[in-house]
Every structure is written in structure tokens, then in C-alpha cells.
């Protein structure tokens, strides 16, 4: 019934160039979006639309219809991707896009292939008992956080549009419905490989691996063992990515294997959040009862997930299984070293070092321990350290981040002594530090306030303000100084919900 109501949008809206739809049929299910009752365009990311080569004027006019799924642009080949995944450690052989529909792919202005996907546009054959819909709150959260990640320079899927559907969705309460349009280098996950492995479909794994190499890692085509090289490359990107998360206090929240992308982008922003006071055990997600995906567990969980990917690739890595296991094991062991190297080099930059000494790790760990004991705000403390690097008079502002400011004296003396052997002027150092220590992160209480205003009052001004402020996270923005502040005790948000 739904397809009868659809008409084609003008040709030029999306220059689709679809490739996933050309893969074998069991990789996906063809599925058109469902209709939304009264779609309204909350936000169109015009800059991104232009970057994707889309017709921005047309999207301003027709965006509500297109991004709700009501108007199918010409050339779209809507489909839901099949995948499996380990969810909180338990394997589910069939997940798939239960509420996401890939419209198609475009080649962006940098020549990079990008997926355009609607999330919350109705049921698919993979919906199981779900309604295929999304609530407004999680849509706004994903919009804000994915764009903030982009501005922070961290690989992530991006937000192209948010539309309210005019229809209620039924969760623990009745909530306004919305559709989120996401752009990704691709939506291929570790769980996509697991889908074929669970079925003993080695041909499927090979077709997927070949596709991934061509799309994301073309330089590996010539490698002696392209599949082993692919495994190494995915591990490298994930090691780099998770290190970047830790550098800014990001907690993904649901690092299931179906939420880890093969391209190395942060994907599936559910109950994600940024940490305020530094505590490695921080968890926000309402469904993470045992802290499996706590802040400091993320590198280890990344490794666990990548080991699951390695298992799926074994038959491609070597026809001799023992040899394949040995080679994959070397890669996964190496991941630990790669992560540590990325983490340490980023942390060195955070404390203002360009040179390397053996004692740096201890210096960094001592600061983190001090921050944990002193309940220092992670973002503010590092940002104030930038100021202190440039101007010794800024010490009181830095130490004021700690519960007992006087506990910082010894560490600051060690730090200054170490800086004396690092060849940068104070001004250069402060400037370099400001480029890696953000002033502004999407603080959880601010996101929550924006969601409440939008959901309860239809007021999107806080959402818009957050997007503006977070688009320049490394700049001091005196006008928006309040956005730098951690939550007051009554504003603290302790739990986030994925809202599925
Ligand atoms: P997530 O944890 O949000 O990444 O989702 C895990 C799985 O549940 C994926 O297969 C999703 O497609 C599916 N899912 C989540 N929410 C819904 C929903 N409202 N309707 C149908 N499927 C859903
Ligand atoms: Mg997911």
C-alpha cells in the first residue's frame, strides 16, 4: 500500500550511485520506508548536503517529505542491511536494520562514497518485535553528538537531517516520533561479517571482504594477503578511534559488535554521553548494568569485538586453520600495542609535550589519578591546563577544578620540570594544547535540556544553540561560557536511554 502513495522526486535531488544493492540478494532486504503522518523538517544540515552534492534548494522545500520517507527520490534503492552481532556478550545470529533504511549511496565532493540512511522510517523484515520507529529525543541526541564528534575531528557518521513525523511512538511513555537521516562511509559492521560466518557462508564473507577492501581500503588490493591486511587495517582504525574517544571523555554506551563499523567511524549513537568528572568507571547507559561498556573498558571491549571479526575472516586468511589462527592472533595482540601508542601520543599532546620520554606515561597516569581523586571535570581541567601552559598566573583556575586544590602542587612541579626539556615556547605550547583539549563538549545535561524543551514544548532553540556552540569546540567562546560548565548537582544526568 505504501509504495502506491509515493511519487518520484525531481531527478537532481540525489546523484545516487548505489553499490550495496548490487551485492548478492541475501545481503539485504529491499524495503521502502513507511509513511509519516505529518512530517516537519526540524533540521537540514545544508553544509553536509552541499558536500554530498545534493540539491540544497530542493531539500529545503521537499526535505520534510524526503527525509521522513514519504517521498522517495529518484534513483533510491531502499534496503535494510542484514547483520548479526554480539549484544552484551551474547551472540544473536540475526539482527539487521530493524528501523533503518538505506536510500542509496552518493559520491561526495572528495570523491568518497557515502551511505544515506533513514533511521526510524518504519518496519523492515529485520524488525523482530520493534516498531521500526524512533523517538524525537534519541534522534536529537544522535544529531548533536555525531556533529559534535565531527567538529572534534573524530571519525563518526554524520547528521544530514532530522524530521518529526507527527506520529506518536510508544515506549515506556508516549513520545513524539522522528526520523534521523544519517550519512556514513558505510554501515558495514563487525556484525555484518558475523551474519555470514554464523551461516557458514564463506562465499558471502569473501564477497563482503572484497567489497569492503574496494570501498574502504583499496590500497590493500595489492597486499600479499589482502584479508589479513584488511584485518590489520580495521584493527588499526579502531585502535586510533577508541583512543580518540578516550581523549575527549566519550562513552559510546553500546559497543556491541553490530555497533562497531568496519570503516572506523563512530556509529550507532544510542545512550552515548561525555563524561564530566573524571572517573574511568563511568557508565551512563540505562541498559549497561554491569559496566561492560564503561569509559575505561572501551579499548578492551574493542579488542574483544575485533577478535570476533578475526574469527569470521579465518577461512580467508589461510586455508590451514592453525596457521590462520596464529596470524589472526598476532594481529589482535598487536591491536593492544597500537591502541596504547595512539592513546599515549594523544595524551602527551594533551599535556603539552611534543617530545617523548619514558616517564611520560607515569606523569599522565598521575594526573589522571589526581583528577579521579579530586573529582575534577575532565574537559575543564585539561582546558585550564592549556591556559596554565601559556601563563603561569592561571594556576589557581586549574587547581580550582580539583576538590582539594593543594593536592596538585607536586604534580604541577613534575610537569613543569618535564616541560623544561620539551622544546616549545609557552605560547606555542598553549596554542597547540588548545587544539587537542576542547573547551566545549556535548555535555549530557545540555543535551537532556535540549531534548526536554523539544519534546515537551516543541522548542528547538536549545538544540540549535548546542549545534552552533559545538561546531567550534576548540575555540573559547566567551558568549557561550555557560556551555563549558559542568552540570550543577541538580542538573546531573546519571542515566541515558537508547530509546529503542
Ligand atoms: P541498536 O542497539 O539501536 O543498535 O539496535 C539493535 C538492533 O535492534 C538492530 O537490529 C536494530 O535495527 C534493532 N532495533 C532497535 N530499535 C528498533 C525499533 N524501534 N524497531 C525495530 N528494530 C529496532
Ligand atoms: Mg545498532
Q: Which of 81, 130, 253 to mutate to test the pocket of ligand 1 (most atoms within 8 A of CB)?
A: 130
pLDDT at 8: 55
Question: Which range of residues forms the domain containing residue 219?
Answer: 191-349
Residue 365 within a domain: no
pLDDT at 442: 98
Q: Based on the number of CB atoms within 10 Å of its own CB, is 19 exposed (0-12), middle (13-18) or buried (19 or more)?
A: middle
Please state the φ and ψ torsions of residue 328, each to the nearest 5 degrees. -65, -40
Residue 422 within a domain: no
35 and 159 belong to one structural domain: yes
236 and 320 belong to one structural domain: yes
Q: Give yes or no for residue 96 CB within 6 A of ligand 1.
A: yes
pLDDT at 178: 98
242 and 271 belong to one structural domain: yes
Number of domains in the chain: 2
Residue 3 within a domain: no
Task: Output the tens digit of pLDDT for each of the chain's 500 residues.
Answer: 344 455 555 545 799 999 999 999 999 999 999 999 999 999 999 999 999 999 999 999 999 999 999 999 999 999 999 999 999 999 999 999 999 999 999 999 999 999 999 999 999 999 999 999 999 999 999 999 999 999 999 999 999 999 999 999 999 999 999 999 999 999 999 999 999 999 999 999 999 999 999 999 999 999 999 999 999 999 999 999 999 999 999 999 999 999 999 999 999 999 999 999 999 999 988 889 899 999 999 999 999 999 999 999 999 999 999 999 999 999 999 999 999 999 999 999 999 999 999 999 999 999 999 999 999 999 999 999 999 999 999 999 999 999 999 999 999 999 999 999 999 999 999 999 999 999 999 999 999 999 999 999 999 999 999 999 999 999 999 999 999 999 998 999 888 776 65
Q: Give yes or no for residue 254 CB within 6 A of ligand 1.
A: yes
Q: What is the pLDDT of residues 322-351, one digit of tens each?
A: 999 999 999 999 999 999 999 999 999 999
Residue 48 within a domain: yes
Residue 105 within a domain: yes
227 and 319 belong to one structural domain: yes
214 and 174 belong to one structural domain: no
Q: Give yes or no for residue 133 CB within 6 A of ligand 1.
A: yes
Q: How far is ligand 1, taken at its centre, from the CA of residue 98, in Å?
A: 5
pLDDT at 500: 59
Residue 133 within a domain: yes
* Domain closes at, from 139, 172, 187: 187
223 and 337 belong to one structural domain: yes
Residue 252 within a domain: yes
* Domain closes at, from 319, 349, 379: 349
200 and 141 belong to one structural domain: no
Q: Is 119 known as a binding-site position?
A: yes
93 and 149 belong to one structural domain: yes
pLDDT at 1: 39
Nearest CA to ligand 1 atom 5: 500
Position of cell 534503492? Answer: 77
Q: Is 318 known as a binding-site position?
A: no
133 and 200 belong to one structural domain: no
47 and 129 belong to one structural domain: yes
Residue 2 within a domain: no
Q: Minimal CA–CA distance to 496: which of 153, 216, 251?
A: 251
Ligand nearest to the CA of 100: 1
Q: Is 131 known as a binding-site position?
A: yes
177 and 196 belong to one structural domain: no
* Domain closes at, from 168, 187, 206: 187
297 and 329 belong to one structural domain: yes
Q: How far is ligand 2, taken at its centre, from the CA of residue 378, in Å?
A: 28
pLDDT at 255: 97
Q: How far is ligand 2, taken at its centre, from the CA of residue 117, in Å?
A: 13
- Can you read off the three cell numbers belonging to residue 267? 556509529
pLDDT at 7: 55
Amino acid at each position: 500500500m505504501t509504495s502506491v502513495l509515493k511519487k518520484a522526486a525531481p531527478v537532481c535531488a540525489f546523484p545516487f550511485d548505489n553499490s550495496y544493492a548490487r551485492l548478492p540478494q541475501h545481503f539485504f532486504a529491499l524495503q521502502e520506508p513507511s509513511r509519516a503522518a505529518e512530517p516537519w523538517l526540524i533540521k537540514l544540515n545544508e553544509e553536509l548536503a552541499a558536500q554530498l552534492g545534493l540539491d540544497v534548494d530542493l531539500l529545503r522545500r521537499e526535505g520534510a517529505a524526503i527525509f521522513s520517507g514519504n517521498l522517495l527520490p529518484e534513483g533510491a534503492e531502499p534496503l535494510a542491511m542484514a547483520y548479526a552481532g554480539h549484544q552484551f556478550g551474547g551472540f544473536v545470529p540475526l539482527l539487521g536494520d530493524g528501523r533503518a533504511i538505506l536510500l542509496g549511496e552518493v559520491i561526495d565532493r572528495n570523491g568518497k562514497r557515502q551511505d544515506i540512511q533513514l533511521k526510524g522510517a518504519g518496519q523492515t523484515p529485520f524488525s523482530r518485535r520493534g516498531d521500526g520507529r524512533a523517538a524525537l529525543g534519541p534522534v536529537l541526541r544522535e544529531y548533536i553528538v555525531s556533529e559534535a564528534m565531527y567538529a572534534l575531528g573524530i571519525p563518526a557518521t554524520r547528521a544530514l537531517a532530522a524530521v518529526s513525523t507527527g506520529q506518536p511512538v510508544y515506549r515506556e511513555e508516549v513520545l513524539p516520533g522522528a526520523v534521523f537521516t544519517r550519512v556514513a562511509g558505510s554501515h558495514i559492521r563487525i556484525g555484518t561479517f558475523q551474519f555470514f560466518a554464523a551461516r557458514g557462508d564463506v562465499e558471502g564473507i569473501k564477497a563482503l571482504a572484497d567489497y569492503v577492501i574496494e570501498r574502504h581500503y583499496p590500497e590493500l588490493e595489492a597486499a600479499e594477503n589482502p584479508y589479513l591486511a584488511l584485518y590489520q587495517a580495521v584493527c588499526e582504525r579502531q585502535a586510533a578511534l577508541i583512543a580518540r574517544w578516550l581523549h575527549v571523555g566519550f562513552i559510546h554506551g553500546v559497543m556491541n559488535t553490530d555497533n562497531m563499523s568496519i570503516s572506523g567511524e563512530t556509529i550507532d549513537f544510542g545512550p552515548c554521553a561525555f563524561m564530566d568528572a573524571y572517573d574511568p568507571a563511568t557508565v551512563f547507559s540505562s541498559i549497561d548494568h554491569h559496566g561492560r561498556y564503561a569509559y575505561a573498558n572501551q579499548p578492551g571491549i574493542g579488542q574483544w569485538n575485533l577478535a570476533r571479526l578475526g574469527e569470521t575472516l579465518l577461512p580467508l586468511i589461510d586455508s590451514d586453520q592453525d596457521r590462520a589462527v596464529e596470524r589472526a592472533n598476532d594481529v589482535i595482540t598487536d591491536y593492544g600495542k597500537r591502541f596504547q601508542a595512539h592513546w599515549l601520543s594523544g595524551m602527551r599532546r594533551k599535556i603539552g609535550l611534543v617530545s617523548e620520554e619514558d616517564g611520560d606515561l607515569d606523569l599522565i597516569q598521575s594526573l589522571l589519578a589526581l583528577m579521579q581523586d579530586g573529582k575534577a571535570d575532565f574537559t575543564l581541567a585539561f582546558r585550564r591546563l592549556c591556559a596554565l601552559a601559556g601563563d603561569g598566573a592561571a594556576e589557581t583556575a586549574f587547581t580550582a577544578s580539583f576538590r582539594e586544590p593543594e593536592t596538585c602542587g607536586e604534580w604541577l612541579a613534575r610537569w613543569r620540570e618535564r616541560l623544561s626539556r620539551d622544546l616549545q615556547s609557552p605560547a606555542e605550547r598553549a596554542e597547540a594544547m588548545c587544539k587537542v583539549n576542547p573547551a566545549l563538549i556535548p555535555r549530557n545535561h545540555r543535551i537532556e535540556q535540549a531534548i526536554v524543551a523539544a519534546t515537551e514544548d516543541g522548542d528547538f532553540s536549545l538544540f540549535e544553540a548546542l549545534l552552533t556552540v559545538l561546531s567550534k569546540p576548540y575555540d573559547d567562546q566567551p558568549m557561550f561560557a555557560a556551555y563549558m560548565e559542568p552540570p550543577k548537582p541538580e542538573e546531573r544526568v546519571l542515566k541515558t536511554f537508547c530509546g529503542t
